[in-house]
Structure 1
Amino acid sequence: MSALLSEPTPAVPAPRGDQERGRRFASVWLLVTLGALAAVSLVRVLTGADEIDSRGSVAAAITATCPILLAALGGLWSERAGVVNIGLEGQMILGTWGAAYFTYWYGPWTGIMGAILLGAIGGLIHAIATVTFGVDHIVSGVAINLIGLGLAAFLAEAFFSDLNSSRGTGGQNKLTGLDNPGSLTIPGVSDALTSLGEKHWFLISDVASILAALTTRISLVTLLVFALVALTAFVLWRTTFGLRLRSCGENPQAAESLGVNVLLHKYAAVIISGGFAGLGGGYLALVSASGFSTGQTNGRGYIGLAAMIFGNWRPGGILLGSGMFGYTDSLRLRDASTIHALLLLVAIGLAVFAVLALRGGKRTRAIVLGVGAVLFLLWFLLTDEVPREFTSMTPYVATLLVLAFAAQRLRMPKADGQIYRKGSAG
């Protein structure tokens, strides 16, 4: 262990135990994904709600997922180093302004870099407060959120109020009409998959619709986001730097005794965390929309934290959790029949979890889940539509439910949120 932490080798093979746990984890999530896809296909066939996973629905869900996923990845970097980053929301807000300002003057890809820069500055402030001065992580994070919200509104009024040109239209709290970074379509493949998805075959058409959404006018920034998920997994679990960083979140005193510069790794992690969150804000301004407006994040930084926790502080779980929250967030764009069909899907899901809880000997949880499944089934059978007001709050309700039922299987980094002082290993 000492050699792993002190020698500058380019890559570190995971211990056999970690590899086995990783394979089990991947297998479980693969089965969950396939099971969820089969359940969605079954509900689609039974209800005739073909829009439940059409290419357009999946594309909207991907667009809604990416900002949440970036915030969750930001939280992962920070908390794996032992620093809780509640300030993701504020860093995302700064990223929306940075994307708008730099895109207006220098183009969309410079805007993406500007979003990352503004978010990283927010991360740097959080690192200075928590790592250097030992401020409580939650207090500092809340302060970052307030600073981000106020600063973005001030900067928008100062820089955007008088803008009015072919490159965008400004206002006191907005800047619209910005260029987007571009998209990609794979000729032939896109049309073939779209055609197959429109045949509405069980499971086959559902898979085709998902692949069609990934090959038809998909934003280049979206592809960058998915690449960052893979890069994060590689860096944190397959490099010496990642091992050292994670050791700072598990036992910083032991890491320091082995020669790891704990403060440096914490600073790097929190700044990278802010950069990810800022990119999430930039995605909202340039891909989800075509401009900046105050309050644009709408709590997605907090939902990103929930996705990180749901994913058990691992990139694969974070990807699936963000996808679930992104899909529920995109529901407000769907028609009433599609949303109503999802009640049956929720009932099936709760019933499956109730059976699993019963097999695990957790009778109380099984009863609660079973009752929930029955209630959702009755809601589906006795009504014809879901109120729009409920649809808009679905992401937040899903966040609370998932965290409530997943809490017992979670394992956060042992030193997460603890104040660390250099030399305390002594």
Structure 2
Amino acid sequence: MSPMGEFTTEDPLSASRRRWIDHVVGRVDGRFGFGFEEILGAGVRPNVPSLYVMGLGFDPRATVAFDVAAPALPKGSRVIAIVPKATSSGESRESAFQRRNQEHAQAIAEKHSLDLEVVQPNPGALDTRFHGVWLVRELRERQEWATPHVVVDISSLPSAIFFALIRAFLDEGADGRQLQVAAAENHWLDDLILDSGTLAPQFLPGFNLHGSLEDLRDEGTRIWVPVLGHARQAQMEAISSAFAPHEICPVVPFPAPDPRRGDSLVAEYGELLFDTLEVDAQKFIYADGSNPFDLYKVLLTISGRYSTALEPLGPTIIVPSTHGSKLLSLGVLLGAYEADLSVVNAGAPTSVLDPESTDGTIRDLAEESRPTCLWLAGEPYEQWPHRTLRQTPLQEATGVQVSEGQER
């Protein structure tokens, strides 16, 4: 047991300072009190085009959330579709999926009178982790950057891109801007997208307070918070070697759509975590795999308690890394943004679809994904940092007051 005691999502000492202590989440099945289209539609500004930013990689979920969101967007809204890597012209299986995604996205845009543009960020970059920084600089020069309603669909966007994009929108804090994030989540499909190779670990641009990992090897007390995901052992080994943490607090999804998801991940990494890294079983963190705000709260709790308990020993350096789902990655982003944490990444140069799974199986799993919409800035948070929120038009219409714990 750590000196801070058991980690929970409730921390009364820091709760009043949390940006998202009250939050708004919608999912197609209404699990969080609202539907996906209900939340997205409430963010639309009357008679004003929206901006929808999405990925168009080979991930078969690329257009799942967009297909649901498009009817709610005003006609003439801008859609910027980002191709993380140019593979659509090749002959590979991944190229075929990417071409299909691009054709489907164009058909959806035409059906709903949306203006779609395909963008490939920084084609000459050797390290794709800088794509997000390049894209932010590019989009800031455009008129649509000031759009009052922005949706970032992370379903098929790498973390290096959506971390930079979402941080940039949050940093600007434009008056009246409604910032929402959409994602089509399905961890069974996550397991069928396999990384090939491992990049040298480094902090993500925009989430780097410490220079390099090597600079920290002799600094303070180092705490590593890896979010576990299937088949990412090489990445975790690389980060552990470069960071040399004093303590490790692995994050597993619980609850999750698959009740055994957490157990299977612990079993997969058992030898690395328990035999090699000697992780204390009581240091494991359980966060709702479907609600990023749960992991966000946990990261704030860990940051506050570790820093307080270890203050006599010098600086405490807490570094999360994300190897799991897009929603848990978003939880890392939000927690790191508010707690001023560096985020380490050891992604892969290339990724492929599981060769043992058929195209039909992969497409069927994509169709079973559940789109989720999270509202990060705008009307629901106009009273932040005060804990009492005013009634938004959405809440007035439904009679529901958004409050902490609503997702349970």
| Higher strand fraction (1 or 2) | 2
Instruction: Give me the TM-score of the superposition, normalised by structure 2.
Output: 0.26
| Higher helix fraction (1 or 2) | 1
Bigger-Rg structure (1/2): 1
Higher relative contact order (CA 8 A, sep 6+): 1
Instruction: Give me the TM-score of the superposition, normalised by structure 1.
Output: 0.25
